[in-house]
Chain A
Amino acid sequence: EAQVTQNPRYLITVTGKKLTVTCSQNMNHEYMSWYRQDPGLGLRQIYYSMNVEVTDKGDVPEGYKVSRKEKRNFPLILESPSPNQTSLYFCASRKTGPVGPQHFGDGTRLSIL
C-alpha cells in the first residue's frame, strides 16, 4: 500500500530535549516536505526536499533541521524544542514533474512543555 509513515504519532516532551520525527515513503517520490498545522493558520511549510541531499527552507524553518540521505526518508529534527513548537506536524511526498497532489502522513502531535 502506498503510504507516508510518520513516527511517533504523539509525543509530549520538555523544552530543550532534542527530538526527531521520522518520515518514510514507499512511493519512490523525489519530493518530500514538512508542514506544521496551527489553529487559524492552516498548514505552513517548514522544509522541503527536491531529492536526495537537496533540501531548502519553507516559510517557517526556524528551530528545525532536516536531512535527506535516502530517497525514502526525510526526518524532522528539533535540536532544542521550545513551547512555541507545540503543533501538529505533517510529512508529505509527491512525484516531481507536473504538480500533482501531495500524499500526507497521518500527522504527529507534539507537545513541548
Chain B
Amino acid sequence: AQKVTQAQTEISVVEKEDVTLDCVYETRDTTYYLFWYKQPPSGELVFLIRRNSFDEQNEISGRYSWNFQKSTSSFNFTITASQVVDSAVYFCALSEEKGAQKLVFGQGTRLTINP
C-alpha cells in the first residue's frame, strides 16, 4: 500500500533562512509519481512539481529545489532565502502507476516565515 509521511507538522523560520521540508514515501510499485503542492492561507492547492520514479535528477526552480533519493524513499523540498510569501501548508503526494486513480497525500507541513 502506498503511504506518504511528512514528519514535520510545523516549521517556523525567520525570513531569508533556508528551510527543508521532508517527505518520505512507501510504495511497492516500480513506477510511481511524486508531487508537491502548496496551500497558501487563501486555501487553494497549487501544484509545484511532479517527479517520476525513473528520474532521480534533482530539480531547481528559482528559490525552490527538490532532492529525490530512491535509496531512502525521500523527496525533500528546499526553499532557499525564504520569504514571507512562502508561508503556507505544503503537501507531498504519491501516485502509483498501477493505482493511478489514487493520489495519496502526506499530512502536510505548515511553514511560517517570520519577517
Say whether A associates with B. yes
Residues of B within 8 A of A (CB): 4, 6, 9, 33, 35, 37, 43-45, 47, 50, 52, 91, 93, 95, 97, 100-108
For A39-62 the 0/1 string (1 means CB < 8 A from B) is: 011111100101000001011000
Known interface pairs A48-B101, A58-B102; A104-B107 also in contact (CB < 8 Å): no
Size band of the interface chain A makes with B: 20 to 34
B101: nearest chain-A partner, CB-CB: A48
> Cβ of B37: which chain A residues have Cβ within 8 Å of it?
104
* Cα distance A102–B104 in the bound complex, in angstroms: 12
Say whether, besides A56-B101, A99-B100, A100-B50, A41 and B107 are in contact (CB < 8 Å).
yes
| Selected contact of A101 from candidates B6, B35, B43, B104, CB within 8 Å | B35
Contact check: which of B35, B45, B47 meets A90 at CB < 8 Å? B45
Contacting pair A44 B105 (CB below 8 A) = yes
A residues less than 8 Å from B52 (CB atoms):
98-99
Query: Are A31 and B107 closer than 8 Å at their CB atoms?
Result: no
